[in-house]
């Protein structure tokens, strides 16, 4: 048998394998890019909300004056406390306001986490200088300072891989004098992306190999087999007919081929295979996009349904779900628990007198106090000015101290005349405990009654 330099069967198999490999690479790359973009967008949105909230809490001119005079102000101290609370609440690596000078990073305000305070660390001094930054790092921050919008970049820090958002801070004259920066860990993002990519690459390769095996079998049966059989018969006929003069000996051993025109049939088969391949790949990409879209839509709908849009605590729907779980636990004698009812005071006056944006700040600030006190319990916003806390475990054991702490905290903020009206948070707090034979609704009503009595007591004192 003659050895051909480029046998058609090997060429077709090699070409098919390269094509399948290329398509697997394209599909894996497209999947990686779209998934990474989606995850990074979520991190961008989260950091965007944090940086913008910090920006909304800053009196830019007052902070600029502190930088110029090197002296703290009352607003500066409040801003320091706000940043200290946020760095733990949002699990940030770091939250700070800085500006650059030569090869130094100059601190304006830097958050100190609870863990750092527990180790005895104190807040970084105003205008404290941090040396050792490279020229490239300084220029990166300088470029952001010249912008007017939030910029994001990824870097390695002593805490691990970090994702940073920076927003320029300008005084009333429009001068950018500092940067509001927030750092968050993205190690989880990298792990998620890598796991997703590995899964998709493996799945795509398996499908590619399976499809390749089926394709090779089909090609041998329908294309290369008949062509090789035809070539073998033709070559055998040529060899046997050489130097033969007897026409009866010139017999062509016709192979069993069920085609009328081999070249035309081969052309139609390749054309159909190419069309089938294109449709197959399109169906895979389309199905993947539909699944991804459905997953993202389901996740967004779940988030909207179970989280309050303003405060990010549990919504009324989430509370109803928690109540059903409590009712099941009561039937199974899984107790005890208590319900705390918190009703905001003066919200209508704030909305009418200072606008709904400050009213939202009033609601958000009150919610922050509630969450910081009842930190081990689920908090729900069930109305415009009503919050409910379900106390279990350690919070239940310390329920009376926590209720007293909440009432005292609201009394202090309401009495603090140095605050803006929408920062003088006030709320009536009531509590009721579950007793054998009660329903969840009875406990809720008793908590509401206790809250109402506390509200009347507060009005009588005023």
For residue 234, pLDDT beyond 80: no
Confidence check: pLDDT of 238 > 70? no
What's CA 116's distance to the chain center, in Å? 27
| Torsion over CA: 363, 366, 372, 378 (sign) | negative
Cβ atoms of 347 and 415 within 8 Å: the answer is no
Dist CA 187 CA 437 (whole Å):
49
Note the pLDDT of residue 10: 72
Predicted confidence band at 317 (pLDDT cuts at 50, 70, 90)?
very high
CA angle at 440 for the pair 439 and 441, rounded to the nearest 5°: 90
Eight-class DSSP state of 160: E
Per-residue pLDDT band for 261 (boundaries 50, 70, 90) equals: very low
| Beta strands across the sheet bearing 427-433 | 379-381, 386-391, 338-344, 427-433
Average pLDDT for 158-162: 70
Over residues 181-197, mean pLDDT: 76
Question: What is the C-alpha to C-alpha distance for residues 233 and 251, in angstroms, rounded to an integer?
Answer: 10
pLDDT band at 243 (very low <50, low <70, confident <90, very high): low
Residue 370 pLDDT: 94
Cα(93)–Cα(67) distance, rounded to whole angstroms? 24
Q: How high is the pLDDT of residue 46?
A: 87
Q: Give residue 92's pLDDT band: very low, low, confident or very high (50, 70, 90).
A: confident
Q: How far is CA 116 from CA 94, 101, 124, 363, 369, in A?
A: 11, 27, 11, 29, 22
Whether the model clears a pTM of 0.75, i.e. scores above it, the answer is: no
Mean pLDDT of the chain: 81
Rg (CA), the chain: 36
Q: Alpha carbon of 144 to those of 1, 133, 301, 322: distances in Å?
A: 72, 16, 35, 45
Domains within the chain, CATH numbers bracketed: 8-35+195-293 (no CATH), 57-185 (3.30.450.20), 316-461 (3.30.70.270)
Residue, of 136 and 449, whose pLDDT is higher? 449
**pLDDT value at 355 more than 80:** yes
Residues 402-416: what's their mean pLDDT?
92
Surface-to-core class of residue 377, CB atoms within 10 Å of its CB (0-12 exposed, 13-18 middle, 19+ buried):
buried
The lowest-confidence range among 103-112, 160-169, 196-205, 284-293 is 284-293
| pLDDT tens figures, 420-436 | 999 999 999 999 999 88
Q: How far is CA 292 from CA 189, 195, 288, in A?
A: 17, 16, 6
Compute the distance between CA of residue 125 and CA of residue 122 in angstroms, rounded to an integer: 9
Mean pLDDT of 88-112: 88
Of 265 and 37, more confident: 37
pLDDT reported for residue 298: 42
Q: Per residue in 319-350, pLDDT tens?
A: 999 999 888 888 777 678 999 999 999 999 99
Condensed to tens digits (0 to 9), the pLDDT of residues 28-49 reads 777 777 777 777 888 888 889 9
What is the C-alpha separation between 246 and 110, in angstroms, rounded? 104
Mean predicted confidence (pLDDT) in 403-411: 93
Higher pLDDT, 381 or 243: 381
Using DSSP bridges, classify how beta strands 176-185 and 94-101 pair: parallel, antiparallel or unpaired: antiparallel
Quick check: 72 pLDDT over 60? yes
């Amino acid at each position: 048998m003659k050895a051909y330099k480029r046998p058609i069967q090997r060429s077709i198999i090699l070409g098919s394998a390269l094509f399948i490999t290329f398509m697997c690479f394209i599909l894996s790359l497209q999947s990686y890019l779209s998934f990474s973009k989606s995850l990074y967008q979520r991190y961008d949105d989260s950091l965007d909300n944090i940086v913008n909230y910090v920006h909304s809490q800053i009196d830019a001119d007052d902070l600029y004056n502190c930088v110029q005079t090197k002296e703290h102000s009352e607003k500066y101290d409040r801003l320091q406390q706000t940043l200290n609370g946020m760095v733990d609440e949002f699990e940030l690596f770091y939250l700070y306001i800085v500006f650059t000078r030569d090869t130094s990073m100059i601190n304006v305000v830097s958050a100190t986490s609870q863990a750092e305070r527990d180790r005895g660390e104190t807040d970084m001094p105003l205008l404290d200088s941090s040396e050792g930054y490279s020229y490239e790092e300084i220029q990166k921050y300088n470029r952001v300072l010249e912008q007017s919008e939030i910029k994001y970049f990824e870097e390695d820090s002593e805490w691990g891989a970090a994702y940073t958002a920076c927003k320029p801070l300008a005084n009333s004259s429009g001068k950018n004098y500092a940067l509001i920066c927030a750092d968050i860990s993205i190690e989880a993002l990298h792990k998620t992306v890598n796991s997703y990519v590995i899964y998709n690459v493996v799945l795509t390769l398996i499908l590619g190999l399976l499809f390749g095996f089926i394709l090779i079998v089909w090609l041998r049966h329908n294309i290369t087999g008949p062509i090789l059989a035809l070539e073998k018969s033709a070559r055998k006929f040529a060899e046997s007919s050489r130097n033969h003069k007897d026409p009866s000996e010139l017999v062509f051993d016709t192979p069993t081929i069920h085609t009328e025109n081999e070249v035309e049939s081969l052309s139609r088969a390749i054309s159909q295979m190419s069309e089938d391949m294109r449709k197959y790949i399109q169906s895979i990409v389309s199905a993947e996009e539909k699944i991804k879209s459905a997953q993202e839509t389901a996740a967004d709908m779940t988030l909207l349904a179970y989280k309050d849009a303003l405060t990010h605590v549990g919504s009324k729907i989430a509370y109803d779900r928690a109540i059903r779980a409590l009712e099941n636990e009561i039937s199974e004698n899984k107790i005890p628990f208590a319900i705390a009812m918190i009703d905001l005071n003066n919200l209508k006056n704030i909305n009418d007198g200072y606008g709904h944006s400050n009213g939202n700040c009033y609601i958000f600030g009150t919610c922050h106090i509630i969450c910081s006190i009842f930190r081990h319990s689920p908090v729900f916003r069930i109305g415009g000015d009503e919050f409910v806390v379900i106390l279990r475990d350690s919070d239940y054991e310390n329920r009376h101290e926590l209720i007293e702490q909440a009432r005292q905290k609201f009394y202090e903020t309401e009495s603090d005349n140095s605050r803006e009206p929408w920062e003088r948070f006030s709320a009536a707090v009531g509590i009721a405990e579950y007793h054998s034979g009660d329903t969840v609704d009875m406990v809720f009503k008793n908590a509401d009654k206790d809250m109402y009595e506390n509200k009347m007591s507060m009005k009588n004192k005023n």
